[in-house]
Amino acid sequence: MVHTHCTRQETIPAHSHRHEALPAPANDRTTNNENMTTKILSVDDELDLELLLTQYFRRKIRKGEYEFYFAHNGIEALQKMLEHPDIDIVLSDINMPEMDGLTLLKKLNDHHNPALKVIMVSAYGEMSNIRTAMNNGAFDFAMKPIDLDDLQVTIDKAISEIAFVKQTQKEHGQLVDIKSDLALAAEIQLAILPQQFPPFSDLKDSIDVFASMNPAKDVGGDFYDIVRIDDDHIGFTMADVSGKGVPAAMFMAVSHTLLRLAGKKKTNPVDVITESNNVLAAESFDNMFVTLFYGIMNIHTGVIQYVNAGHNPPYILRSNGALETLPTSKNICLGVIEGIPYTSETVTLQKGDSIVTFTDGVTEACSVTDDLYGETRLEALLPTLTGQSAKDIIENVLKAVHTHAEGAEQSDDITMLVVKKL
């Protein structure tokens, strides 16, 4: 910005030797918050500038709005910056002994502090230096003899820019903290879910189990689980919590814990679901709920007694390639009404059969053209996976879903669990 007008000029006397400042009386200072004080470093080998600035800005100094520091060359200025790293504005002459203003500007830029604003001061006829300074990151400039009214305007502009930069830095820092917290929450969430397959080494010849969850956000609301109930039974869960993000993840953790605790002591899925629902509904977690499929399988007979509480009906992939859809249940989701009765159904897996459970993130995976993957595509794919392991079934379905999505961002978690009788 070029300053072409003057409202009032206060010039530095050519041969004056007055360099004592006029400190504000201690009892005239207000108790302003330190964050409201703008700290200004003036760098100039003309000592009279100290007096000029402290006189002109004395009211702001007394009020605690401005705090001035002084240096007489670039080397002294860098030392002052080390002593006072919270300086906001540097008002620097260009022509100085030992280290000039342009060199100082470069040194200050090396510190990469976007909140620091440098105002260069030069005489008329040194426009090339001014241009160099502006190209190298100077905020603005002023001409000698200094128009202090105009300098006030420039400082005010710098203060506004500094406030904006600091607020942006603060918000960025908060965002970084949030992302860090979300990353930790995601790690905790994944740690809750079984990650080791097969989950029960002594059953590796009886059942084949695999599961996967891909959260749409940093943390998700879907979850799966598989527990050993006794020597003859395992329990498995596929669930989808309402909502997304951190609240859903927290509700997911509570639901997961309740189901696991109840499932380890009960062999009737109705009892497990009833107990869990009553706790969730009684606590009323911000009107959140969870849909789920919970089954208890006899590993010897292949009989699965299950409760479907408002969840997607799983598929039964038979060893001969036939595909069956379990009937839709009238049971409502958990966490809505305390004391509501639940009913169970049964299905039997023969050798080589698999039960394929999933959340609606699979069938509602959306392409870049808003085309859902859908049940039709899934039902066409699954029979082609006959004879494959639980892991291969899931990986092939996820590959097909991701191919369909074509890189489009998904709004829902994609979760699957497959149990196969060997």
SS (H, E, C) the chain: CCCCCCCCCCCCCCCCCCCCCCCCCHHHCCCCCHHHCEEEEEECCCCHHHHHHHHHCHHHHHCCCEEEEEECCHHHHHHHHHHCCCCCEEEEECCCCCCCHHHHHHHHHCCCCCCCEEEEEEECCCHHHHHHHHHCCCCEEEEECCCHHHHHHHHHHHHHHHHHHHHHHHHHHHHHHHHHHHHHHHHHHHHHCCCCCCCCHHHCCCEEEEEEEECCCCCCCEEEEEEECCCCEEEEEEEEECCCHHHHHHHHHHHHHHHHHHHCCCCCHHHHHHHHHHHHHHHCCCCCCEEEEEEEEECCCCEEEEEEECCCCCEEECCCCCEEECCCCCCCCECCCCCCCCCCEEEECCCCCEEEEECHHHHCCECCCCCECHHHHHHHHHHHHCCCCHHHHHHHHHHHHHHHHCCCCCCCCEEEEEEEEC
Model confidence at 146: pLDDT above 80: yes
pLDDT computed for residue 315 by the predictor: 98
pLDDT computed for residue 320 by the predictor: 97
Q: Is residue 311 part of a domain?
A: yes
Count of domains forming the chain: 2
Q: Is residue 289 part of a domain?
A: yes
Model confidence at 89: pLDDT above 90: yes
Are 201 and 256 contained in the same domain? yes
Quote the pTM value: 0.60
Q: Is residue 15 part of a domain?
A: no
Q: Is residue 53 part of a domain?
A: yes
pLDDT computed for residue 411 by the predictor: 79
Q: Which domain holds residue 356?
A: 193-421
Q: For position 137, which CATH number holds?
A: 3.40.50.2300
Are 221 and 141 contained in the same domain? no
Average pLDDT of the chain, as a whole number: 85
Are 137 and 31 contained in the same domain? yes
Q: Is residue 88 part of a domain?
A: yes
CA 277 – CA 252 distance, rounded (Å): 13
Domain boundary pick from 135, 170, 205: 170
Q: Which of 152-156, 158-162, 176-180, 191-195 has the lowest average pLDDT?
A: 176-180
Q: Is residue 307 part of a domain?
A: yes
Q: Is residue 286 part of a domain?
A: yes
- pLDDT tens digits for range 285-335: 677 899 999 999 999 999 999 999 999 999 999 999 999 999 989 999 999
Percent residues over pLDDT 90 in the chain: 59
Are 205 and 166 contained in the same domain? no
Model confidence at 164: pLDDT above 80: yes
Mean of pLDDT values over 202-218: 87
pLDDT tier at 9, thresholds 50, 70, 90: very low
Choice between 300 and 178, residue whose per-residue pLDDT is larger: 300
Are 149 and 197 contained in the same domain? no
Q: Is residue 17 part of a domain?
A: no
Model confidence at 167: pLDDT above 50: yes
Are 292 and 374 contained in the same domain? yes
Are 161 and 232 contained in the same domain? no
